[in-house]
Amino acid sequence: MKRKAFAGLLLVPCLASPVFAQGVSPETKVIVDTLWVLITAMLVFFMNAGFALVESGLCRAKNAVNILAKNFIVFAASSLAFWAVGFGIMFGNGNDVMGMTGWLTMGADNSPATGDAYQGVFSSLNWTGVPLYAKFFFQLVFAGTAATIVSGAVAERIKFQSFVVFSFILVGLIYAVGGHWAWGGGWLSKVGFADFAGSTVVHSIGGWAALAGVIVLGPRIGKYMPDGTTRPIPGHNMTSATLGCLILWLGWFGFNPGSTMAADPSAIALIALNTNMAAAAGCLSATVAAWLALGKPDLSMILNGTLAGLVAITAGCNAVSVGSSVIIGAIAGVLVVYAVLFFDKVKIDDPVGALSVHLVNGMFGTLAVGLFATEGGLFLGGGFAKTQSQLIGIAAVGVAVFAMSLIAWFLIKMVMGIRVSAEEELEGLDLGEHGMEAYAGFVQAHQEMRTEIV
Amino acid sequence: MKRKAFAGLLLVPCLASPVFAQGVSPETKVIVDTLWVLITAMLVFFMNAGFALVESGLCRAKNAVNILAKNFIVFAASSLAFWAVGFGIMFGNGNDVMGMTGWLTMGADNSPATGDAYQGVFSSLNWTGVPLYAKFFFQLVFAGTAATIVSGAVAERIKFQSFVVFSFILVGLIYAVGGHWAWGGGWLSKVGFADFAGSTVVHSIGGWAALAGVIVLGPRIGKYMPDGTTRPIPGHNMTSATLGCLILWLGWFGFNPGSTMAADPSAIALIALNTNMAAAAGCLSATVAAWLALGKPDLSMILNGTLAGLVAITAGCNAVSVGSSVIIGAIAGVLVVYAVLFFDKVKIDDPVGALSVHLVNGMFGTLAVGLFATEGGLFLGGGFAKTQSQLIGIAAVGVAVFAMSLIAWFLIKMVMGIRVSAEEELEGLDLGEHGMEAYAGFVQAHQEMRTEIV
Amino acid sequence: MKRKAFAGLLLVPCLASPVFAQGVSPETKVIVDTLWVLITAMLVFFMNAGFALVESGLCRAKNAVNILAKNFIVFAASSLAFWAVGFGIMFGNGNDVMGMTGWLTMGADNSPATGDAYQGVFSSLNWTGVPLYAKFFFQLVFAGTAATIVSGAVAERIKFQSFVVFSFILVGLIYAVGGHWAWGGGWLSKVGFADFAGSTVVHSIGGWAALAGVIVLGPRIGKYMPDGTTRPIPGHNMTSATLGCLILWLGWFGFNPGSTMAADPSAIALIALNTNMAAAAGCLSATVAAWLALGKPDLSMILNGTLAGLVAITAGCNAVSVGSSVIIGAIAGVLVVYAVLFFDKVKIDDPVGALSVHLVNGMFGTLAVGLFATEGGLFLGGGFAKTQSQLIGIAAVGVAVFAMSLIAWFLIKMVMGIRVSAEEELEGLDLGEHGMEAYAGFVQAHQEMRTEIV
């Protein structure tokens, strides 16, 4: 694509000069690539704020401190875990299953050398010519994203310390192993599995880990009534949720275009646009679907539809046309509405819709690469091979991550407990876990009710 | 300007090398320009969050979900409308009135080729050497801004679906036509009209469309009392409004400096600084003006003064000195305070001051180019020619956009209705339009009052 | 460091071409450096939103408008003060104590020329090859940061206009003089004092100015009881505080890596990573320290621990290893918890912990350069010389800024008063200073109580 777009410029004479022939000197390329990688990494970092706001906003005020604290500390935990062991397991030289070098993000490395010129222990990242610490920083913010997805699904009943411990395990081990398979030179990368920016590697892994946690935890008290009905538990702050979703949309312009890890003009322009169009289509299709299914355009569905579109385009944002992005996003927006309804029907209590957004659409987005890819996509006459690779990846990562997460959650439950007491859950985790309120001075309805009862 | 600033550097020998002579190879230039365009576009995208927070924060809690939903979905609608038809009408090759090619953002295009080397259907953008999708993405976030301006002015009484439909019409047609005149090779660009980053094209167009809507809608119930007095309706969340304004200030560093669509060091540094100084001056002058006019430094006036400074410097940020920016911003800050008082006097109900900020100061800022431009400005001895061109543009765009918008609003009113019922307006649009509350669990004063009455 | 990292690339032949030898042409370097400086400056600008949210969130709802207004207007005031006089005093050519040229940011200047080729009145900034206005804009956002630090410490009892006046004095004079000593070619820069991104220049200066203000103001009514006990006054909005802290963390990726004022890939990657790791370590160590000291993981301590790590790594982010960053951050996180307890013990009332974060850890971070620097650090076998220079700088800046600030605060107190009336303080500064509420319509507990009493 780049060659075609540059065709006009390449007609300029003076091809004798090696600099001119290349157009961009090696040192200049390192500079612009590093700028791009660092700036997009910062945008992805900011997604922590987005997740914190969406997840706390869609839950109750009495648990807001707890959710904010979880979403905040999870990136600190991710930073240490990924620095110490996760990065080595994911990208260090090793075998088909995991990396075995690069602990503490150290070891031989002559980045920004690339390709055959690269000599070091992180060979799986030798395709990008930026300094090692830029590579690590970019991958770290991705790892943090996977961990923060879990927070929303297990919200309003998990013990604070149990969540922190699981975050260390997820980022240091589970995510790193799954990521090694697809991005670190592991076996999945050898069967043609394509997941450009992480519909599976980041979002589905986060989603599977969350699903395991939700199952071990059980639903919140009062969510599913004895008579079989489901009680809606409205979020306490739609301003938070909306701002958070816009921050996530912004962050995705780092997430997807930054995954080039190179300032390739045509590629990053296409990816940025595909990302945006899928989000827009997901937003509108979820609005319509919610309107039809629920009678009104529910704002939380509008927001989750947008996120669904973003998750779904993540795997194929570099490989599909703008038109396909619109279609993928539109499907994702409908999927998320019905997924939310489905999970409630089977009594899997996910307070913020994280499973519907990240797990369901992470899988769909990964599959969509097989269907819509300009080169090799089933719907574009490419046959079934690409789709098959995608299905293998979806299934393998799903089984492995779900199993590892289930074991981790059970171990945590046995060793330190996983769920707060029923009394603490009713009173709110903010007082029980943190000894404070999120909105001191504001009168809450449940407080009034308590006063009335007393 | 660039040449002068680079004078020292150009003294370096070796001018024989074509690369060295140019200093920047064509491919390098495409890369850095694309980085700049995409990153600044992301900042402008983030302005959606700023508008959502400012507008919802300055309205009542009972309408917060509705305003957030409007400001959120408007960018999704803009994305599809501008992609499908707006971009073609605005920048596609056509006639003096509108573009007639480039539907679905497709068609012949060999960007990043520039000038005479460009061969495609978007000739009006051949001055910037970035990929087509980068051009589109940047222009899209501008189109979205125009649409989001409307949301605040029509808040607290408009039907959700009517607003969404108008957004499609505004971005797909009205904004695109007005934009074509000034930026897309239309007739205004041929009479010397100068609007660098859109005081008229974005802000006045949004403002005129909003004014038409406000007139068709009428004021909110209870705003203008039968005895002739005006009742202040305070906003529900000044934290939102302040954060939103800071996000807008940040976003303007994309809006104005990004409008170079090229990483020209001296130009973007000047523009960034001018943008900041006008905002600062507008903030301080509005503070003083509000203190004198109202007795206290009202925070919403401080915020709107800043936005007024930003809107006013938008047209001329590349063409005036830093000192002129301070003066332009200071005037804008005073203007906005008196404009807010004026609109209330004539019973035009604009809940967030959008008309005072975007329409009044969009016009003033456009005029200010004629007065303060370093080259050709009336106050700098350049005669009246430049000012005349500006006045023509202000008037022509105003008449055309206001007329088209009025027609669109009336059609919407006839076909699907435009205003919610009085009962829904009193109860709040959040329950009526979306079936939910923004702050579930928080006790609101009007709820208490209702309880007392019952 | 750059040379070593680039070793592989430098082996490419064709060293005969001057362009290729350098790798990056002078004009390209100006472009990428300017992009980096402007983009990071925008991130630092956004820290204004972070400070506004953290400081207002950690105070009471009845003072929220006032704190938001202070944190908002302070950057406008800083912009004018630094433009008119501060930049000249700080970076203009002058003597060892202060600059004496460059008023109104004007004067001879041939930037982006660097080193001996530079001929102008801002010689102390001739090491960075970006346009003058980019240098100014970057330095301006730093100056604004110093001023905004003061706001939190003096919150909930200072008169609005008195704070605004002090901000002009701080940015225009006090900060500029202290900054001249270390960064503007003054005497501290000649004794080997190292403060890369401003642990002392920005954070300690802000902290000392705040301490002087807190002493002159006295504690808030009701904070320290007659019986010697301290009453906790909880913040009103932990969502604000958490979002604000994440925005600050993001902004620090501009603050520290941007202080290279050049797009040096290895340097900016290292600095970004060091910044992040210190923040993460500070977050986790403060969590543990608070858990041990207070019994629960208090969210405001988690947030302040993160900020403490960020402040502490600021001086040495370019000079220490990633491992040292983790250690520095971890120490900072513990320090801040005990500093908060200490200030309450000595009855210095700092509502948001600004002194503990910025003053204490600004000093510690500056000292840490002497201890941990890879080259010359005491703990790395470099002897005591570097540490001695750091101690001289810490003490000299502390004495000078504290004395100047004390004089300024006293003058303000004499001329216009400094503290609101006790009645206004009890009712809240929002009504008294601004005539409005932050959250109109929400029922506050103290309002209910008042109703009960009546």
Question: Using the beta-carbon criterion (under 8 Å), do B76 and A24 form an inter-chain contact?
Answer: no
Token reading at C101: 């040229």
Question: Using the beta-carbon criterion (under 8 Å), do A299 and B27 form an inter-chain contact?
Answer: no
CA distance A76 to C54: 19
CA distance A243 to C101: 45
Question: Using the beta-carbon criterion (under 8 Å), do C39 and A39 form an inter-chain contact?
Answer: yes
Using alpha carbons only, what angle is made at residue C220 by residues C214 and C223, rounded to the nearest 5 degrees?
Answer: 115
Question: Using the beta-carbon criterion (under 8 Å), do C438 and B269 form an inter-chain contact?
Answer: no
Instruction: Determine if the peptide bond prior to A226 is cis (ω within 30°).
Output: no
Nearest chain B Cα distance for residue A276, angstroms: 8
pLDDT of residue C449: 45
Mutation choice for B interface testing from A270, A299, A452 by most B CBs within 10 A: A299
Question: Using the beta-carbon criterion (under 8 Å), do B73 and A5 form an inter-chain contact?
Answer: no
pLDDT of residue B23: 87
pLDDT of residue B144: 97
Q: Which residues of C touch B272 (CB under 8 A)?
A: 38, 41-42, 133-134, 137
Instruction: Determine if the peptide bond prior to B112 is cis (ω within 30°).
Output: yes
Question: Using the beta-carbon criterion (under 8 Å), do B298 and C435 form an inter-chain contact?
Answer: yes
CA distance A341 to B337: 49
> Does pTM surpass 0.90?
yes
Q: Which residues of A touch B125 (CB under 8 A)?
A: none
Judge whether residue C165 has pLDDT over 60: yes
Judge whether residue B453 has pLDDT over 60: no
Q: Which residues contact C228 (CB under 8 A, 6 or more apart)?
A: none
Question: Using the beta-carbon criterion (under 8 Å), do C277 and A83 form an inter-chain contact?
Answer: yes
Question: Using the beta-carbon criterion (under 8 Å), do B440 and A236 form an inter-chain contact?
Answer: yes
CA distance B241 to B191: 39
Judge whether residue C31 has pLDDT over 90: yes
Q: Which residues of B touch C46 (CB under 8 A)?
A: 246, 250
The tens digit of pLDDT for each residue in B340-351 reads 999 999 999 999
Q: Hey, what's the torsion of the CAs at C369, C373, C378, C380, to 10 degrees?
A: 160
Is A444 in a helix, a strand, or coil? strand
Nearest chain B Cα distance for residue A295, angstroms: 9
Nearest to B141 by CA among A280, C98, A447: A280
CA distance B125 to B115: 9
Q: Which residues of B touch C65 (CB under 8 A)?
A: 238, 299
Nearest chain A residue to B57 by CA: give it: A239
CA distance A293 to A289: 6
What residue has token string 């997840």? A55
Strand partners, B419: B158
pLDDT of residue B35: 98
pLDDT band with cut points at 50, 70 and 90 for residue B445: confident
CA distance B204 to B390: 13
Q: From the CA atom positions of chain C, what is the Rg in Å? A: 22
pLDDT band with cut points at 50, 70 and 90 for residue B447: low
Question: Using the beta-carbon criterion (under 8 Å), do A30 and C9 form an inter-chain contact?
Answer: yes
Token reading at B153: 């002015």
Nearest chain C residue to B233 by CA: give it: C440
Question: Using the beta-carbon criterion (under 8 Å), do C9 and A113 form an inter-chain contact?
Answer: yes
Judge whether residue C307 has pLDDT over 50: yes
In the A/B pair of chains, how many CB contacts fall below 8 A?
Answer: 208
Question: Using the beta-carbon criterion (under 8 Å), do A27 and C43 form an inter-chain contact?
Answer: no
Backbone angles phi, psi at C419, to 5 degrees: -120, 140
Mutation choice for B interface testing from A4, A10, A273 by most B CBs within 10 A: A273
- Helices B205-217, B385-416: crossing angle, 10 deg rounding: 40
Judge whether residue B9 has pLDDT over 50: no
Question: Using the beta-carbon criterion (under 8 Å), do C272 and A64 form an inter-chain contact?
Answer: no
Nearest chain A residue to C62 by CA: give it: A441
pLDDT of residue A7: 33
Mutation choice for A interface testing from B28, B103, B448 by most A CBs within 10 A: B28
pLDDT of residue B22: 55
Q: Which residues of B touch C442 (CB under 8 A)?
A: 61, 236, 439, 442-445
- Helices A299-314, A265-294: crossing angle, 10 deg rounding: 140
Where b means 16+ CB within 10 Å and e means fewer, C350-381 reads bbbbbbbbbbbbbbbbbbbbbbbbeebbbebe
Question: Using the beta-carbon criterion (under 8 Å), do B132 and A250 form an inter-chain contact?
Answer: no
Nearest chain A Cα distance for residue B73, angstroms: 7
What residue has token string 């003089």? C177
Question: Using the beta-carbon criterion (under 8 Å), do B69 and A9 form an inter-chain contact?
Answer: no
* Identity of the residue in C17, C62, C299 whose CB atom sits nearest the CB atom of A19: C17
Q: Which residues of A touch B19 (CB under 8 A)?
A: 14, 17, 19-20
Q: Which residues of B touch A253 (CB under 8 A)?
A: 38, 42, 45
Burial class (CB in 10 A: 0-12, 13-18, 19+), A12: middle
Mutation choice for B interface testing from C62, C65, C104 by most B CBs within 10 A: C65
The tens digit of pLDDT for each residue in C219-250 reads 999 999 999 899 999 999 999 999 999 999 99
- Contact partners for chain B, using 3 or more CB pairs closer than 8 A, are A, C
Nearest chain C Cα distance for residue B5, angstroms: 7
Nearest chain A residue to C281 by CA: give it: A76
* Identity of the residue in C113, C137, C434 whose CB atom sits nearest the CB atom of B272: C137
Nearest chain A residue to B70 by CA: give it: A299
**Number of Cβ within a 10 Å radius of residue A57:** 27
Token reading at C283: 């977050």
Question: Using the beta-carbon criterion (under 8 Å), do B276 and C77 form an inter-chain contact?
Answer: no
Question: Using the beta-carbon criterion (under 8 Å), do A284 and B73 form an inter-chain contact?
Answer: yes
Q: Which residues of A touch B28 (CB under 8 A)?
A: 23-25, 28, 32
- Contact partners for chain C, using 3 or more CB pairs closer than 8 A, are A, B
Give Cα B351 distance to the centre of its chain. 17
Low-confidence ranges of chain A (pLDDT < 70): 1-22, 446-454
What share of chain C has pLDDT > 70, as a percent? Answer: 93
pLDDT band with cut points at 50, 70 and 90 for residue B15: very low
Nearest chain A Cα distance for residue B25, angstroms: 6
The tens digit of pLDDT for each residue in B127-177 reads 999 999 999 999 999 999 999 999 999 999 999 999 999 999 999 999 999
CA distance A382 to A389: 13
* Identity of the residue in B38, B69, B442 whose CB atom sits nearest the CB atom of A272: B38
Judge whether residue B1 has pLDDT over 90: no
Q: What is the DSSP string of C425-453?
A: HHH-HIIIIIS--SSTTBPBHHHHHHHHH
Give Cα A177 distance to the centre of its chain. 16
Q: Which residues of A touch B109 (CB under 8 A)?
A: none
Nearest chain B Cα distance for residue C61, angstroms: 10
